[in-house]
Chains A and B, each alone.
Chain A
């Protein structure tokens, strides 16, 4: 196992398509829900404890060896917005491409063959972490960080927010990232315990406003970000 692989996987420059997505921040900015660093912090906190927790637990379960196809169904059930399901699968395909180049593994190849239209991105993240020699906690960390770093980067571009302030928002959230990642890891490992896949123990935290905003964003004619 190499911990440094986590830095590669969680790097914002990892070429898996994330740069074109705002994690819902574009719509939140358009609706006036994020106007400054404080608004960004509140938005990130909300996303972390809902979509972030759910995603991280899926990633941890996949990394712990749960059946990725069952997890993909579980992710569908936890994603009410069709636009977000499509986004998650698209990002899953893009991540799978990058992961197969970075950490070639039969498991990744098999997933590409079984689901050519894509698997939810957090599930791929977990299998990729596993292929990289990482553990479930690492997969959780990558997922929770992604849940907040995407909106922060996007808000810098959308609002001209001071990048130092945006980064400070992320730094202040770090203890909460630890907490959510720990809960997600526990749930994910439980879901994969004993060589079975028990998706019912995975968290299903959701944020209705994120779902509604994603649907609104998907039909906008002018936008910088894909989601």
Chain B
């Protein structure tokens, strides 16, 4: 079963109702007035599912093609930001970390002010940017990004977390613009049924796309990168 292909659906329609918002910051610097601000993409998902690895892989694959920056929301350390720095996926001035006061979901949903500020500071410092990836701290299945922070969001789960997670649903699994099921290479070892996960995800998500990835393999992030390219294209066209 070619999950990578069969589950990647056609271009996204803009159902999100997230039109260009009035930005309550200083006006864009001269010369950039006609360029739209960067597409803001949130990555959520449980601890250890591969959010940081996905960010790193996306940056490695796309940094020549898109102007990228990353905001991490570490829970109590700066390890995610430091991992990205150590891996040198982007220059350090393109990576910033936000503290979340033990409530990662609050920082991406209820009170987005620190994250919005971090995104705007990156755009001001190293812009113009095409995409800012905002990586949530690992959280539970209910964590979703506010539309005030993210124009699109992807939710990363993994096969080792149990193949019943798509069936359980929850806001992350059901509403994210893209569901990423990572670590498919581990499926045989943990007894996860990928076909079942695909079926359940389809049932929960009403046609929204699902991709299966194995970041351990060369080019494993490609399905996510393809989705991101499409979002960038429609963002620019809008």
Contacts and interface: CB of A to CB of B under 8 A. Distances in A.
Mutual binders A and B = yes
A20 B117 contact: no
A19 B106 contact: yes
Given A17-B114, A157-B102, A113 B76 contact: no
Contact of A224 (B76, B111, B112): B76
Nearest to B73: A20
A97 interface: yes
B134 to A, nearest CB: 15
A116 B121 CA distance: 11
A154 to B, nearest CB: 7
Interface string B105-140: 011001111101100000000000000000000000
B28 interface: no
A94 interface: yes
Given A19-B106, A101-B24, A224 B101 contact: yes
Nearest to A157: B102
B110 to A, nearest CB: 7
B interface, how many residues as a size bin?
20 to 34
Interface residues of A, number: 28
A225 B110 CA distance: 16
A93 B25 CA distance: 10
A16 B116 CA distance: 11
27 contacts: A13-B111, A15-B110, A15-B112, A15-B113, A17-B113, A19-B103, A19-B111, A20-B101, A20-B111, A20-B114, A93-B117, A94-B113, A97-B24, A97-B25, A97-B116, A97-B117, A154-B101, A157-B103, A222-B77, A223-B76, A223-B99, A224-B76, A224-B99, A224-B100, A224-B101, A224-B102, A226-B99
Interface of A: 13, 15-22, 90, 93-94, 97-98, 100-101, 112-113, 116, 154, 157-158, 221-226
Q: Which 7 A-B pairs have the closest CB atoms?
A: A20-B101, A226-B99, A94-B113, A15-B111, A17-B113, A224-B102, A157-B102
Interface of B: 24-26, 75-78, 98-103, 106-107, 110-114, 116-117
